[in-house]
Amino acid sequence: MAALRERIEQRWDQLSRTERTVARLLANTAPERLLYLSAQELGKQAGTSGATVVRAVQSLGYRGLPDLKRGLAISFSNEVPPETRALRRLESVGENVEGIWARVREEAAERLELAGESIDANVIGTAAATLLAASTVFSYGVGSSSIAAQHLATRLGRIGRSSRHLDDSGFRLADELLALSRRDAVVLFAPGRTVPDLHAIAERAAILECPIVVVGEEIPEALSGRAEVVIEAPHTPTGLTSEALTGILVGDALVHTMASADPETAVATNHELTRIRTSLGYSPAAGGFPTP
């Protein structure tokens, strides 16, 4: 909030009258409330439109409302206990199903918008080329991020690329890392907090000179400094949507980019996958359900 108020003070003379009204509202709203308010809701409180709120936020130097919330969320997550954040989240969504559904959609749309602005397509291409050159792609994530890691490993296998999901942690993770070789590559889905296992994997990959692709937000310098490629995937500022959402989408983009570079292998693997599924009693014509 201090950074927000400083921006308002610095740009006050350049703001229109309506933008100043929005700026006052932003400065005087508690961060735990501001995180959960949409542009339309803020506009209603300021007596203006959601579009004007977005323009005011951009006049303050932010890329949009999601960018502003992202900055607030970092300190909010670090300073406020998880149980308090959970309570604020429940209070913000209320009990109305339509309202809950709308808020979840809004946050998902905001995260996708921010990801679209943050991620350069050329970075996706560089990461895909790095993974294409690898013998096996090892993927790892923590908590919700492990969903994105598993998703990537599965989809890579379906386009004919050797992949492995590292799903152990702590003591047992060491056994899995024995299989890593210098011909491989590692994709780390980094959560919004420091995790020792991530650094251990990065250290092991560095020793073997394996390229590392890191996907996440607010990545520690010690981790990003070892990475061949860093892809910024915005995490949830409120917890209304899964942390894995943007990581999964990044994984999808990587898989399709890699498949387009070697379509013959991708198509042949998909054909073989369908044949195996059919032998197991699953028919594509029957919508994937077991046939009698």
| Digit-coded pLDDT (tens) for 211-230 | 999 998 878 777 888 899 99
Q: Where does the pLDDT of residue 291 fall: very low under 50, low under 70, confident under 90, or very high at 90 and above?
A: very low
Q: Where does the pLDDT of residue 85 fall: very low under 50, low under 70, confident under 90, or very high at 90 and above?
A: low
Tokens, residue 61: 């130097």
Containing 229, the helix (H) or strand (E) segment is strand 229-232
Q: Cβ distance 92 to 103 under 8 Å? A: yes
Mean pLDDT of 249-262: 96
8, 19, 117, 253 from 22: Cα distances, Å: 10, 5, 23, 37
Q: Where does the pLDDT of residue 86 fall: very low under 50, low under 70, confident under 90, or very high at 90 and above?
A: low
The larger pLDDT score, comparing residue 77 to residue 134, is at 134
The pLDDT > 90 percentage for the chain reads: 45
Q: Where does the pLDDT of residue 75 fall: very low under 50, low under 70, confident under 90, or very high at 90 and above?
A: low
Tokens, residue 204: 């092991």
Q: What is the pLDDT of residue 238?
A: 75
Pairing of strands 163-166, 229-232: unpaired
Q: Cβ distance 29 to 1 under 8 Å? A: no
Q: In which order are the strands placed within the sheet that holds 137-141?
A: 163-166, 137-141, 185-190, 212-216, 229-232
Least confident of 20-24, 143-147, 193-197: 193-197
Q: What is the pLDDT of residue 111?
A: 84
Q: Is the pLDDT of residue 210 over 50?
A: yes
72, 176, 212 from 139: Cα distances, Å: 30, 11, 10
Domains of the chain (ranges; CATH) run: 2-93 (1.10.10.10), 121-261 (3.40.50.10490)
Residue 92 to residue 78: CA distance in whole angstroms: 20
Mean pLDDT of 8-12: 90
Contacts of 171 (CB under 8 A, 6+ apart): none
pLDDT tens for 264-281 read 999 999 999 999 999 988
The pLDDT > 70 percentage for the chain reads: 88
Q: Where does the pLDDT of residue 292 fall: very low under 50, low under 70, confident under 90, or very high at 90 and above?
A: very low
Q: What is the pLDDT of residue 267?
A: 95
Task: Name the nearest CA neighbour of 159 among 280, 256, 249, 274.
Answer: 256
Contacts of 15 (CB under 8 A, 6+ apart): 23, 56, 59
CA-atom Rg of the chain in angstroms: 22
Q: Is the pLDDT of residue 286 over 60?
A: no
**What mean pLDDT value characterizes the chain?**
86
